[in-house]
Amino acid sequence: MQKTALGTNRDVFQADLAEKQQLIRVAMGLAPAELVLKNAVYLNVFSNEWLTGDIAVQGNRIAGVGSYSGKREIDLAGKILSPGLIDAHIHLESSLVSPAEFARAVLRAGTTAVVTDPHEIANVMGKDGIQYMLEATENLPIDVFFMLPSCVPATPQDESGARLSFADIEAFYQNPRVRGLAEMMDYPGVANANAEPLLKILAARQHGHPVDGHAPLLSGQALNAYVAAGIHSDHECSNPDEALEKLRCGHFIMIREGTAAKNLDALLPLLCEQYASRCLFATDDKHPEDLLLTGHIDGMVRRAVHAGVDPVFALKAASFNAAQYFGLQDKGAIAPGYFADLVVFDNLTDFTVQQVYKNGTLMFDSGKVCDFADPPVSEALRQRALDTFHLPPVTPASFQTNQPLPVLQIIKNQLMTEKCGTADKIDIKKDILKIAVVERHHNTGHIGIGYIHGYGLTAGAVATSIAHDAHNIIAVGCSDEELSAAVNQIIQNKGGMCVVKGTQVLSEVPLPVAGLMSDKPLSTVNEQLETAKKAASALGVPEGIDPFMTLSFVSLPVIPKLRLTTKGMFDVQTQSYL
């Protein structure tokens, strides 16, 4: 007897067949839809125009667009309907809360899908970190897709909690929510044709998935080599010339507007008829206050349109373009057969989100997100995430040095830094402060020390265990005693942020989950964080400098020009220690 094509999954296919048959009957007008959104002015992403019609929803998909009747009908006359918004590149851990809390925050902003790179927690917990995030995002009322971390650690200079080879991450490609390889930060390794990054790229391509890039200011032949290796996008562009060079080489440009890196205004010229189809919106790293006050991807749409961008181009960059890039063929459009991920806006100027439908279910309405449970995480992984600090307390002597060290100059609203000479001591009047990175994963005792200019403290110290990407403890202070007090508070809390003056803790944000996330509600974490920011500001950190987000990137040795690691000050451009 010949086997049917349905094989052992015959019952599943029969159920799918019945659903498909009913979808077609509704599309043909032979049966009423479960839900019809009447008289909607909606964006057609294929023809780049605004049309008016009824949107018939059956189950989790759109059955048809035109004239329909349904068991439930909602009149959207005077409203605007858009595909659900998609964040093309984010690290969920940077929201400082659980993935479920993040989902509650962004649903109200019209986000129905995000593409996350879990390399923050992977740098702490290795494969267990990836598995933790997969479990913590399972069946959330937003789609959470994954790009597998490509650089754990970010470079050989980093001392992280784990090292992941291409073989270590291979099994994760079997998960349908995994869509490719995340930002390839090791662009020197790619340009030098090193085997390890190339094997990771080849593995992703073998699975038919894209590879995201991370190559700030890369240009010329080095850029050609990077693209030729099989890398498809970049989210590090900070000016139009850089973006256009990469776009002309074939890259998709992820226009980023996060808490630390803000590139939207500079890259607005790309959102025009000539280039907009190659642009996606991304936030990369987004702190609680930004999520609560400025929104998520909807905030980028608003700002772009207020700056003169055609709403069609802005909304496509916020939805359809990302779906196409990541191979999400049934998402990002309002059309027959597509998933019913829909956002109701009030108008094309303010873009205030009024309702959000996820898979045809109303998940946000009248200012409220529907209740849902946090996905369970296995107990072994949960306990593992709560025990990630393995070092003894430090002392003021841990930070003493008797030689001149490089000074790192921070740049307001940018992740890039500049060189600023050397110093041999703290000089508060000249804004020369001591900065240190303390290894916390393997009790090596390594502490990198240098100086920083532009941070502004006039007393006290600030410390955080969010130190991209290895997530050791980074601290800046006005004295060795205060540096010691701040670092020890982070160790005692098993992660988080703090501001101290003398030996007194002025404010803190405990982050016990891998030293990256809280188990508290977003509003609570935001209150703690804003209180800590005010404490840092009162000690001299100037307006416009986020004391924690800015500090957290000073240790990332893949962004020019200077970075501080556990082994000392590192020149990214020359790939050498100073």
How many CB atoms are located within 10 Å of the residue 453 CB? 19
- Indicate whether 329 and 468 sit together in one domain: no
- Indicate whether 390 and 321 sit together in one domain: no
CA distance 253 to 243: 7
Closest CA to 536 of 502, 504, 500: 500
- Indicate whether 406 and 545 sit together in one domain: yes
Of 251 and 573, more confident: 251
The arithmetic mean of pLDDT across residues 47-63, rounded, is 98
Residue 411 maps to a domain: yes
Does residue 412 register a pLDDT over 80? no
Residue 371 maps to a domain: no
Of 92-96, 170-174, 275-279, 413-417, the range with the lowest mean pLDDT is 413-417
The arithmetic mean of pLDDT across residues 198-217, rounded, is 96
Does residue 295 register a pLDDT over 50? yes
Which residues face 568 on adjacent strands? Answer: 565
- Indicate whether 327 and 412 sit together in one domain: no
- Indicate whether 124 and 202 sit together in one domain: yes
Coil/strand/helix, residue 474: strand
pLDDT digits (tens, 9 = 90+) for 463-475: 999 999 899 999 9
Six token digits for residue 50:
């605004």
Residue 130 maps to a domain: yes
Residue 316 maps to a domain: yes
Domain boundary among 303, 333, 363: 333
CA distance 309 to 307: 6
- Domain total of the chain: 2
Q: Are strands 111-116 and 143-148 parallel, antiparallel or unpaired?
A: parallel
- Indicate whether 312 and 388 sit together in one domain: no
Instruction: Indicate the pLDDT class of residue 8, thresholds 50, 70 and 90.
Output: low
The arithmetic mean of pLDDT across residues 542-561, rounded, is 89
Exposed e or buried b for every residue in 484-517, given b needs 16+ CB within 10 A?
Answer: bbbbbbbbebbbbbbbbbeeebbbbbbbbbbbbb
Q: What are phi and psi of 24, to 5 degrees?
A: -70, -40
CA distances from 549 to 94, 261, 532 (A): 9, 9, 12
- Indicate whether 243 and 391 sit together in one domain: no
- pTM for the model stands at 0.93
- Indicate whether 415 and 310 sit together in one domain: no
- Indicate whether 423 and 571 sit together in one domain: yes
Six token digits for residue 556:
């990332």
* Domain boundaries, position 456: 384-577
User: In this predicted structure, what is the pLDDT of residue 3?
Assistant: 41
Six token digits for residue 35:
């839900």
Instruction: Indicate the pLDDT class of residue 89, thresholds 50, 70 and 90.
Output: very high
pLDDT digits (tens, 9 = 90+) for 513-550: 999 999 999 999 999 999 999 999 999 999 888 899 88
Residue 540 maps to a domain: yes
Exposed e or buried b for every residue in 150-173, given b needs 16+ CB within 10 A?
Answer: bbbbbbebbbbbbebebebbbebb
Does residue 436 register a pLDDT over 70? yes
Residue 349 maps to a domain: no
- Indicate whether 325 and 414 sit together in one domain: no
User: In this predicted structure, what is the pLDDT of residue 5?
Assistant: 47
CATH value at residue 200? 3.20.20.140
Residue 171 maps to a domain: yes
Residue 16 maps to a domain: no
- Indicate whether 328 and 459 sit together in one domain: no
